[in-house]
Structure 1
Amino acid sequence: MIDLHNGASTVIEATILVVAALFPVVNPLAAAAVLLNVFSGLEPAVHRALARKIATYCFFLLIGSLLWGVKILTFFGISIYAVQIGGGLVVAVTGWSLLSRDSTSTRSNSAQDSSVLDRAFYPYTMPLTVGPGSISVAITLGAHLPAELHASSFLSPRVLIASFVGIALVCISIYICYRYANAAERLLGASGTMVVLRLSAFILLCIGVQIVCTGVQDYLEAIHQI
């Protein structure tokens, strides 16, 4: 009974770790603000379908990166440090571009295109929602999660439960933010929406810098151990 309780507690802690690591990088609040020009003007049914498709694509993309990302990197001879540094740079650049974007820029009329659902994966899911930074974080989690749960491989039930539940919670938050983006914009107003976007962009910039610093630090530690 004690072992079962400890096992459940460990899985819950790992699930929280997955959510805490991915949610700030995915940052669905900022992504929803960026995609407001897409959501505005959509029919409610199309808006719901688009939000649902993006959340679904994000789930499969993140779970695939977490569970099989390390294997893919090993096959191509790419180190996890390179993914962290490269992904962190992309996140930082994305945050900076959003932070320095002209607040008076006009919205595009892409939402009027009848093929908006065809663009649910690219570019709305990747790279606008789940970009290289999110993928690098998911791959890093996949590399360390089995050790955190004292599991022999990523196919361990504890690893699978923590991965699926944690990523599902992140994707549910994506759906909620995207589904109700227009309502949030009306509630906040133009100035409030811009404040949220700027703050989210600054946080995204800091997250990108932190990912780069972590990758460089881990790489230097690995060199010193050789």
Structure 2
Amino acid sequence: MDTFALAVKYIPLVAIGLLPIMNPLSTVPLFLALTKRMSAHHKRQQALRACLYAYAILAAFLFMGNGIISLFGISLAGIRIAGGLIILVLAFRMLFSGEGEEASVESDPAEIKQAEIDFSFSPLAMPSLAGPGSIAVVMSYGSQIPQAHQMVGYVVVLAGIFITIAIAFLALISANWLAKFLGEHGIQAVTKIMGFLLTCVAVQFIASGVREFIITFS
């Protein structure tokens, strides 16, 4: 019973840690640009597929994380610090330039026939929703799962990812309304707030890794 209560407590914490780096609102302008000539049904389909692909990508990296650690001989503390540094760089970019990961997508929507191409996997799912920052966060969470409670730990992280993806889906299907309600400056303001929260998450990951290094060497 205590394990179940603890699991329920950690699920929202995982979602809160992942949400700022995924930042679905930063994907809204990209989604609007790529789907502006599509029907409402096709837009909803693209949003659903993008979210399903993003969930599959993050889940795959969650389970493959330990294998990658073993294969390359990387310590858990190293994964946490590296993940924290990647997230910190992305957070600073969001804070000081107002840009999320979607800025790295070089496709020019005006040059593409929107009605004929499926954008759900790339660039919407990857690198926009499930980019390197999101993958680093998921792998960092995976590295913190206790050996004695691995099954419960994976369920907790998967549930947290699901909540975050569900929020992303709601943001994408509400893209037209959000764009009108927030406006360009509103979306930039939310991105900067997400950037600050993301900085806090990154510092926590780095501090946790450094602490583990000190304990190991001492």
Amino acid at match of 2:47: A
The whole-number CA distance in structure 2 between the counterparts of 1:109 and 1:16 is: 36
The answer for the alignment partner of 1:212 in structure 2 is 206
Counterpart of 1:60 (choices 31, 56, 71) is 56
| Residues 40 and 182, structure 1, Cα contact 8 Å, conserved in 2 | no
Q: Does 1:12 align with 2:5?
A: no
What is the percentage of aligned positions where both structures have the same residue? Answer: 26
The whole-number CA distance in structure 2 between the counterparts of 1:134 and 1:216 is: 21
The answer for the alignment partner of 1:191 in structure 2 is 185
Offset of residue 186 of structure 1: 0.5
Q: Does 1:136 align with 2:131?
A: no
Amino acid at match of 1:110: P
Q: How many residues align?
A: 211
User: Which TM-score applies when normalising by structure 1?
Assistant: 0.75
The whole-number CA distance in structure 1 between the counterparts of 2:31 and 2:81 is: 26
SS in 1 for 2:74: coil
User: Which TM-score applies when normalising by structure 2?
Assistant: 0.77
Offset of residue 20 of structure 1: 3.1
The answer for the alignment partner of 1:110 in structure 2 is 109
The whole-number CA distance in structure 2 between the counterparts of 1:164 and 1:102 is: 29
The whole-number CA distance in structure 2 between the counterparts of 1:73 and 1:60 is: 20
Q: Does 1:122 align with 2:122?
A: yes
Post-superposition CA distance 1:149-179 (Å, at most 9, x none): x42xx3x3x3453243222212111111122
| Residues 87 and 136, structure 1, Cα contact 8 Å, conserved in 2 | yes
Counterpart of 2:159 (choices 157, 161, 165) is 165
The whole-number CA distance in structure 2 between the counterparts of 1:205 and 1:42 is: 36
The whole-number CA distance in structure 2 between the counterparts of 1:49 and 1:161 is: 27
Q: Which runs of no fewer than 5 residues in structure 1 stay unpaired?
A: none
| Residues 17 and 201, structure 2, Cα contact 8 Å, conserved in 1 | no
| Residues 28 and 178, structure 1, Cα contact 8 Å, conserved in 2 | yes
| Residues 110 and 116, structure 1, Cα contact 8 Å, conserved in 2 | no
Amino acid at match of 2:25: L
Higher mean C-alpha deviation, range 199-208 or range 46-55: 199-208
Q: Does 1:50 align with 2:46?
A: yes
Offset of residue 135 of structure 1: 1.8
| Residues 30 and 200, structure 1, Cα contact 8 Å, conserved in 2 | no
Offset of residue 52 of structure 1: 1.0
| Residues 58 and 130, structure 1, Cα contact 8 Å, conserved in 2 | yes
Q: Does 1:175 align with 2:169?
A: yes
Change (3 A) 1:101 1:162: closer
Amino acid at match of 1:45: H
Change (3 A) 1:193 1:18: closer
The answer for the alignment partner of 2:28 in structure 1 is 32
The answer for the alignment partner of 2:216 in structure 1 is 222
SS in 1 for 2:130: coil
